[in-house]
Structure 1
Amino acid sequence: MSFCMTKFSKAELEWRDGFVPVSTKYDDVYYSLTNGLEESALVFLNGVGGKDLWENKQNTIIGETGFGTGLNFLATWREWKRSAKSDQRLTFVSVEGFPLSRAQLQKSLEPWDELSDIRDALIKAYPDLSPGFHTLEFEQDRVTLILLFGDVQDVLSQFSGQVDAWFLDGFTPKKNPEMWNVDVYKLLARKSKPGTKLASFTAAGHVRRGLESVGFKIEKHKGYAFKRERIVGEFSSVEADEDKKVVHSGSLPWFDIPKVRNKPKKVAIIGAGIVGNCLAYSLSRAGVDVTLIDKAPSVAEGASGNPAAVFEPKLMRNGTVLGQYLASCYLFALSFYRKLEEQTGEKIWHHQCGSLDLIGDDKELQRRQSFVASNVLPQDHFSIVDARGASELAGIDLTSSAVWYPYAGCLNTTALAKALTAEIDVRLNCEVTSLEPYANHGQCNWKLSVSGSSEDLEFDSVVLANAFNARNFTQSESLSVIMNRGQVSTCLPNKSSTDLKTIVNGSGYITPAIKGQHVFGATFERLYCYDEAENKSVTTEHHGHNLSLLNEIVPNISTQIDLSALGGRTSVRGTTFDRLPLVGPVYDEDQYRNDYAGLKNGQKSKSFWPQGEYYQNLFCAVGFGSRGFLTAPLMANYLMKLICGCDALPIPNEIRDAIHPARFLMRDLKKGL
């Protein structure tokens, strides 16, 4: 089954003794009636070595099957706060097939006042329920919790990385066989390395034998409270029959991404749009010295500098990589922008006013209803309203039903850019003309030549975040980025638009008044040469196009616009043919063509092909199109993890492959092009 079709159900609980959660599906408690917190510390954390687990590691990854109430995570976080050094980081990756709601989580954790600070932080950050990966950051991003909501085999197979320890929790094996079987154990082994620790509350014979069959050495220890025995273990190697061997394999070899050996100290990001700015912020918080370079006179000068950025989810049916990608990006960005406002004090929203996505006809209504039923987004993040309900929400008369997105809004692009780059070394009016690799103590570092200067800039790693201009460099000239020019228009409020309270979206869109003007649009024009991209004139023709779009969705507003007071802005975006960005290491095109030329002959065995070759420490994040403000925060977090050599990535392998920079080249090679 594709990860994007993973099964997902909400927890159904009853309460024992007033506060102990019990699963009605499995008729089992979530933690010991004796003392759940003590059980978490003794059985799980101490079972894998306690604070010794991270004593000599800069990055520690703990995996868990069965997040439940989060008590194991909180017990681990508490000990990590007590004993970790300031430069150490903890990543906790936890699978949950039946997640609790925020209210259920809060009630479950009420007894543990000694955890109040971290408990409350977890409850505040805990995601609204939807399937997939959910990344939460704590302690100035030094503690990361990645929740994998869905079937254990579906989601764990999509996790990229090897852990230092496993907590095998969940309901008792007798009642929950889906969690305790050899297929799951093989996945645990694939995500382990020699020395990976393991701890569990159960000592059932079939569990011990299953874990031993995939390479874990298991010991029985005295159990907690009324349990007679528990187990601890360590992964060594697989010394079993051939059919039981565990293969450490990931995606297709041309999509395999080598791990960065050493975290870089200095990184250059070329391009100060929303993507580059988000990445600069993420890398800086990871302790990297970042230089943000742009040829423009200010940050967010291109398409990222429109008067307002409309932020809303893109609702698509679950079961597609694109749908899961957009849902994951939306939920991460919503949390990211909230935290950014809290941390910087910048007012990054003009209005978080909600958005109405108009539904044109009955066929479209049925399609949207099927999206709603697919649960790709949490239920309170969207709903279908009739024309009357849409009109009440918008504050103006609308004639069609709509999808209502209550958490959508208009981002203040200027304030957002300021918040992201306030502590970053920004070099403006600075055009990078070439990239040259050089060897430095066995590593490939980079020299940047800059126009108007005879002195090269030197960095450990470089990221191209400059849209279609990334193709100007020899190493990245084959990146499949195309150019689209678009114009947005602005107008003064009129009698019919004064009461507009939400974004209205259809064939075009219009925002509520922002600093005395509505923003509406927009045009999309494919460009084929760089000379065309230099023309960013605001034209009457394109105003006319935007007015016609506006007339389709809110004719009562469009007919009263003062045409003499129209304003606008034109910019050029980089996008791709499948509307997914190119994010990851920059591939070596010549080596790819040489290594994979035989694909056109139909040879598809994974073992036949070498891993893809890349330019070491050169990365890209381009092709975001009009979805940059929606998708940049999560993509920046993902790329930051790659650049810093982190094993635990915040996106599933299917999405990682779908945004791989070499995917269009690979399609061509398979066709013999």
Structure 2
Amino acid sequence: MKTSPIVPARVDFSDAAAPHAPEFGDVYHARAGALAQARHVFLGGNGLPGRWAGRARFVVLETGFGLGNNFLATWAAWRDDPARCERLVFLSIEKHPLTREDLARAHAASPEPELAQELLAAWPALTPNLHTLDLEGGRVRLMLAFGDARDWMPELVASVDAFFLDGFAPAKNPELWDEALFKQAGRLAAPGATAATWSVARRVRDGLQAAGFDVAKRPGFASKGEMTAAVFAPRHRPAPVPGRTAIAAAATDVLIIGAGLAGAACARVLSREGLRVTVLEAGPTVASQASGNPGGLFHGTLHAEDGLHARFNRAAALATERELRRLAPVLPWLQWGLLRVERQAQALDQMRALLAQCGLPADYVQALSAEEAGAKAGLALRQPAWYFPGGGAVSPPDLVNAWLAEASRTAVAFDVRLNAPVAHLRREDASGRWSALDGAGEVIAQADAVVLCGGIGSAPLVSAWSAGPGWPWVSQRGQLSVMTPNALSSAPGQAFQPALESAPSPSLAMPVAGLGYALSLPDGTLCFGASADAGDEEPSLRATDQAQNLERLRLLLPSADLPASLPLAGRVGWRSLVPDRLPVVGALPRAVPPQRAEQVRFWPRQPGLMVMGALASRGLTWATLSAELVAAQLLGAPWPVEASLAEALDPARFGAKRCRSGS
């Protein structure tokens, strides 16, 4: 999907009863009242709240978020309905979202002041992404797609129960009433879906009919005599695409293999979805590999072309920021703000030009001079730096434990089993349930679905159950170095090895990254590094890696008073990755499709068998969003990323790529 910088809406508030959009020459809502209009046209036209009664999940898709009044009216109706659905998902597209300041102005006198304030507090950065905002403890989910609806509608994966067709008048904003958009509505419509709009324009009614809706006119709101309501009743529907179908929609329990960042993130989201969760960890502790480092970084990226990597890293970083702000009260240590230095001191002009080209807002990323960056770091720097306000550092083990603790509180049933390596998987033909077996062939646990989160340790299980070519897994050894006034001791590969003598460590106000990284822990310990050696199985700390880390630290923090050498102190762990520098997230392919094998969505899938791995050195940044995608694909909820991004992460991508290349 090609993205463009987000241009915020310009709103004329001079008439408080009917805010005006100068660019479109139209008002945002009827003078008779925004929430009253929403209740009559969109809720009433879609048979709500009655239609969501008793449902586990109900999905609304709106084609223009505007001031957010339709969402607030829907949320209020859900909140006030004793027979409400368990989860309400409100998916809305907006090309010109409001700034936070204008949103506050729009709802200064809202009839729903508490809900309006919660919306304002959750309002995301204006970046071209699908922003997922959880409200009401996650029972109400607002998914905001910022950008052109013509770009977003083909990229959405969801089963929509009700369409709110809103936007400025078709004569003034014809793009939002395009025939292709109605066709996409037909693609996304769930059985029995409904649609409603205040417009009765011929192009609107004809577009809905062509997309498979039965269309009728109803009494309109206030001075508008008529409105349109429709019910999805197509003559035929194409067969569902295997790669976009729920993997185990009726699952009641799940096995998660691996208790690092990936496994813990999945445990949290799947517990929240009402599943019984069992986590099987091969080692004696959770967070035993790269997830066991005492501190780690999370942050986004940017690139002039805003391709797959930039879009995914930004979406993941924004999701991580939201999640860590939610968890901040229970995390022992969390540091906000991150600097990523450029290698050239003269790069500031190019950085600012790139930022202007990308159009990304200051609450996501800023280009700082060396002096400005040094002031934030608390230590003089010689190069300009990218500043990510929503990036930072956290303890991965603390995050893993926080997620597992939350899962234990929210799950119907929850269990973590240590020293439980899984040697094989077996699927029972009669029940369709999965069994995890140990090396002797004994059953460890059973469930309707399995998520492989064991990194490269899951490779044998993947090989046994995945169709297509073998995956290009890489195991990468990483050595982290520390400088601390206190000698800490532990076993290699688990925590710190002891320092032979004390060494003063520089103190950083926030983490600094570049060629390597450095961050200060609360006790004054400086963590820095880290090395990256593929295929290296040495578990002990090495002096050569320590020297390399120290040399990179000198380049990163040139003003720091660093010793010529340091005693050997730090930690060794292993990361799993694949060469295309993206994680692997999704359902395992069951067979090579006879046709269209070059497209991942046509690959048949193993029912109930998923993977989340290859998080590389970005586990903190990637885990939250990847786990949300796992849950959505497993249970059939709306995907939290656009289809093109999900397909770039898909386990079938390796086979599809081979088919495209003809090899």
TM-score by length of 2: 0.90
Identify the residue that residue 623 of structure 1 maps to in structure 2.
Answer: 614
Q: Residues 153 and 187 of structure 1 are in contact (CA less than 8 Å); yes or no, is this contact kept in structure 2? A: no
User: 2: distance between equivalents of 1:300 and 1:501?
Assistant: 26
Give, in angstroms, the shift of residue 638 of structure 1.
1.0
State which of 448, 451, 460 in structure 2 corresponds to 1:460: 448
User: 2: distance between equivalents of 1:138 and 1:302?
Assistant: 33
3-state SS of 2:244 partner: coil
User: 1: distance between equivalents of 2:61 and 2:34?
Assistant: 19
State which of 408, 415, 418 in structure 2 corresponds to 1:425: 415
Q: How has the CA–CA distance of structure 1 residues 248 and 557 changed in structure 2, closer, same or farther, with 3 Å as cutoff?
A: farther
The Cα offsets for residues 38-65 of structure 1, whole Å up to 9 and x where unpaired, read as 1111111011101222124322111111
State which of 313, 320, 323 in structure 2 corresponds to 1:336: 323
State which of 563, 567, 580 in structure 2 corresponds to 1:560: 563
Identify the residue that residue 569 of structure 1 maps to in structure 2.
Answer: 571
Q: How does 1:395-544 map to 2 (within 5 A)?
A: 395-422=378-405, 423=408, 424-441=414-431, 444-451=432-439, 454-473=442-461, 474-476=464-466, 478-492=470-484, 498-527=506-535, 532-533=536-537, 535-544=538-547
Q: Residues 492 and 561 of structure 1 are in contact (CA less than 8 Å); yes or no, is this contact kept in structure 2? A: no
User: 2: distance between equivalents of 1:376 and 1:411?
Assistant: 28
Q: Residues 505 and 525 of structure 2 are in contact (CA less than 8 Å); yes or no, is this contact kept in structure 1? A: no
User: 2: distance between equivalents of 1:56 and 1:358?
Assistant: 53
Q: How does 1:322-401 map to 2 (within 5 A)?
A: 322-342=309-329, 345-349=330-334, 351-352=335-336, 354-361=337-344, 365=348, 368-375=351-358, 377-401=360-384
Identify the residue that residue 113 of structure 2 maps to in structure 1.
Answer: 116
State which of 573, 581, 587 in structure 2 corresponds to 1:585: 587
Query: Which stretch of the first structure deviates more once superposed, 165-174 or 610-619?
Result: 610-619
**Mapped pair 1:595 → 2:594:** yes
Give, in angstroms, the shift of residue 502 of structure 1.
2.2
Q: How does 1:180-219 map to 2 (within 5 A)?
A: 180-219=177-216
Give, in angstroms, the shift of residue 361 of structure 1.
2.3
The Cα offsets for residues 76-122 of structure 1, whole Å up to 9 and x where unpaired, read as 11111222557722111111111011221122122224x23322222
User: 2: distance between equivalents of 1:141 and 1:265?
Assistant: 19
1:296 alignment partner AA? G
The Cα offsets for residues 487-541 of structure 1, whole Å up to 9 and x where unpaired, read as 11000379985453222222121113432210000101111xxxx54x3211111
Give, in angstroms, the shift of residue 450 of structure 1.
2.6
RMSD value, Cα: 2.5
Q: Residues 541 and 571 of structure 2 are in contact (CA less than 8 Å); yes or no, is this contact kept in structure 1? A: yes
User: 1: distance between equivalents of 2:479 and 2:82?
Assistant: 51
Q: How has the CA–CA distance of structure 1 residues 19 and 219 changed in structure 2, closer, same or farther, with 3 Å as cutoff?
A: closer
User: 1: distance between equivalents of 2:565 and 2:594?
Assistant: 61
**Mapped pair 1:638 → 2:642:** no
State which of 47, 50, 58 in structure 2 corresponds to 1:49: 47
Identify the residue that residue 28 of structure 1 maps to in structure 2.
Answer: 26
Q: Residues 199 and 233 of structure 1 are in contact (CA less than 8 Å); yes or no, is this contact kept in structure 2? A: yes
Q: How does 1:284-303 map to 2 (within 5 A)?
A: 284-303=271-290
Q: Residues 345 and 384 of structure 2 are in contact (CA less than 8 Å); yes or no, is this contact kept in structure 1? A: no
1:389 alignment partner AA? E
Give, in angstroms, the shift of residue 319 of structure 1.
3.1
Q: How has the CA–CA distance of structure 1 residues 36 and 257 changed in structure 2, closer, same or farther, with 3 Å as cutoff?
A: closer
TM-score by length of 1: 0.89
Identify the residue that residue 244 of structure 1 maps to in structure 2.
Answer: none
Q: How has the CA–CA distance of structure 1 residues 515 and 452 changed in structure 2, closer, same or farther, with 3 Å as cutoff?
A: farther
Identify the residue that residue 650 of structure 1 maps to in structure 2.
Answer: 640
1:486 alignment partner AA? G
Identify the residue that residue 490 of structure 2 maps to in structure 1.
Answer: none
3-state SS of 1:178 partner: helix
Q: Residues 218 and 233 of structure 1 are in contact (CA less than 8 Å); yes or no, is this contact kept in structure 2? A: yes
**Mapped pair 1:546 → 2:575:** no
User: 1: distance between equivalents of 2:12 and 2:577?
Assistant: 49
User: 2: distance between equivalents of 1:259 and 1:514?
Assistant: 44
User: 2: distance between equivalents of 1:203 and 1:19?
Assistant: 23
3-state SS of 2:363 partner: helix
Give, in angstroms, the shift of residue 6 of structure 1.
4.3
Give, in angstroms, the shift of residue 219 of structure 1.
1.3
Number of aligned positions between the proteins: 636
Q: Residues 484 and 505 of structure 2 are in contact (CA less than 8 Å); yes or no, is this contact kept in structure 1? A: no
Q: Residues 506 and 560 of structure 2 are in contact (CA less than 8 Å); yes or no, is this contact kept in structure 1? A: no
Give, in angstroms, the shift of residue 20 of structure 1.
4.5
Q: How does 1:139-150 map to 2 (within 5 A)?
A: 139-150=136-147
Identity between Structure 1 and Structure 2 (%): 30
Identify the residue that residue 243 of structure 1 maps to in structure 2.
Answer: none
Query: Which stretch of the first structure deviates more once superposed, 469-478 or 45-54?
Result: 469-478
User: 2: distance between equivalents of 1:286 and 1:296?
Assistant: 27
User: 2: distance between equivalents of 1:355 and 1:38?
Assistant: 45
User: 2: distance between equivalents of 1:318 and 1:122?
Assistant: 31
Q: Residues 355 and 503 of structure 1 are in contact (CA less than 8 Å); yes or no, is this contact kept in structure 2? A: yes
3-state SS of 1:263 partner: coil
Q: How has the CA–CA distance of structure 1 residues 86 and 226 changed in structure 2, closer, same or farther, with 3 Å as cutoff?
A: closer
Q: How has the CA–CA distance of structure 1 residues 316 and 249 changed in structure 2, closer, same or farther, with 3 Å as cutoff?
A: farther
3-state SS of 1:625 partner: coil
State which of 150, 160, 164 in structure 1 corresponds to 2:161: 164
Q: How does 1:185-334 map to 2 (within 5 A)?
A: 185-237=182-234, 256-260=243-247, 262-334=249-321
User: 1: distance between equivalents of 2:67 and 2:60?
Assistant: 17
Give, in angstroms, the shift of residue 257 of structure 1.
3.4
1:637 alignment partner AA? E
- Flag structure 1 segments of 5+ consecutive residues without an equivalent: 240-246
User: 1: distance between equivalents of 2:136 and 2:324?
Assistant: 17
3-state SS of 2:12 partner: strand
Give, in angstroms, the shift of residue 328 of structure 1.
0.5
User: 2: distance between equivalents of 1:24 and 1:347?
Assistant: 49
Query: Which stretch of the first structure deviates more once superposed, 296-305 or 79-88?
Result: 79-88
